[in-house]
Structures are given as structure tokens and as C-alpha cells.
Amino acid sequence: MKNRMNLNLFSTLGFKTTTRIGLLTVLFAAFSLAPAFALESGWAGLPNPASGLCLKLNGTPVAYTLAGSGGSSSGLLCDFNGALVGETSLWYALNTGHELALDKFLEHPSATPQPNVNPASSYCGLVGGTFLLANLANGDAAGLCMFSEGGHLSIIEEWTLFRGPQSAQNARLLEVLTHERSHSEE
């Protein structure tokens, strides 16, 4: 009966049957894709659990676009006092207990960067990541270390990864990861 009422509303407004079905299909598709789009884009006004988590943990969401992508590849980082991590990576780490980029950060495997190159970019490759240059919304550039994992990208800023958990600059990120992970395991 509820579907009939919805279709009758469209009839009352003067839409033909084929138009009604088309409008319902478009509305269904829009509402079905909205959460996925929100997670990827962080579009204001739509629910984004990763951005919400970043804010809840007193981080600052930072938009980025991959250099050379013409704006077609973008995402959000969470900034904890200069330690940058992908928002979705943070969300996965705290909700599943595992995320490759953040696991690498916490483990901080020993690797000797190549001489005469950016040590953070070199370290990224040595621990299995791929370096990509990103343009931040404020106009700054940042090197991101990306790991492909389970159909999504696990992201951490290259210097955050290189400095590791023992760095004073990464203290807030370390606190978030260790405190929140211990609470989620209880």
C-alpha cells in the first residue's frame, strides 16, 4: 500500500508511469550512493564516519588532491598536530584493529633510506609503500605513502611514517592509536 501511495503522489503531480519509475530509480540511486560518496569525498552535509571520527578525536580534516590528477583523485587526511594520516585509514584502524599504513607506523620497521634522496620518500618504498605527491587544500604539498590493502588505499604522510611513533611530533597520533585501539579491544 505504501508504494501505491508514493506512485499516486507522482500521479497527482502529473507524472506519467514511465516518468514515475524513472524518478523513483534516480532517487533510489542517489540515496543508495550518498553514503559511499560521502565517505570518499567528505562532501559537507553528508554523513562521513571517517571525518566524524577525525573530529571526535580532536584532529583536523585536511582535503588533498593527488598531483597530476587534474583534481580527479582526492581525499581527506586527518591532521594530529602535524602528523597526517588518511581519514579512512584511521577509521579502519580503529574499527578493525588493523590498517597497513598505521601498522607500519607503529611497527616502524628498520630500513636505511637511499643516500642523496628524500629520506621519507625512500623509506616509504623500502617498507612496501608507494610515494605520491599531493596538493593540500591550503596550497601546501605533501608526500603521501600509500599501501594497497583489501580493495582500498591505506594512507599516511611520508614524514609521519618516517619519523615513527617515537617522534614528539607524532605523539598525538600515537596516543590516539594506542588509546583508542585498547578501548575497542575491551
Query: Average pLDDT for consecutive 10-residue bins of the chain (186 residues)?
Result: 39 44 34 39 59 92 87 88 95 89 92 84 94 93 92 92 95 90 53
**The predicted structure's pLDDT at residue 64:** 93
**The predicted structure's pLDDT at residue 24:** 32
**The predicted structure's pLDDT at residue 181:** 59
**The predicted structure's pLDDT at residue 142:** 95
Model-wide pTM > 0.95:
no
Tell me whether residue 96 is exposed, middle or buried, using C-beta atoms within 10 angstroms of its C-beta: 0 to 12, 13 to 18, 19 or more: exposed
**In angstroms, how far is CA 3 from the centroid of its own chain?**
37
**The predicted structure's pLDDT at residue 18:** 43
Cell numbers 618516517 correspond to what residue? Answer: 162
- Asked whether 67 and 133 are in contact (CB, 8 A), the reply is yes
Tell me whether residue 166 is exposed, middle or buried, using C-beta atoms within 10 angstroms of its C-beta: 0 to 12, 13 to 18, 19 or more: exposed
Q: 21 Cβ partners below 8 Å, 6+ apart?
A: none
* 1: DSSP letter: -
Cell numbers 574499527 correspond to what residue? Answer: 95
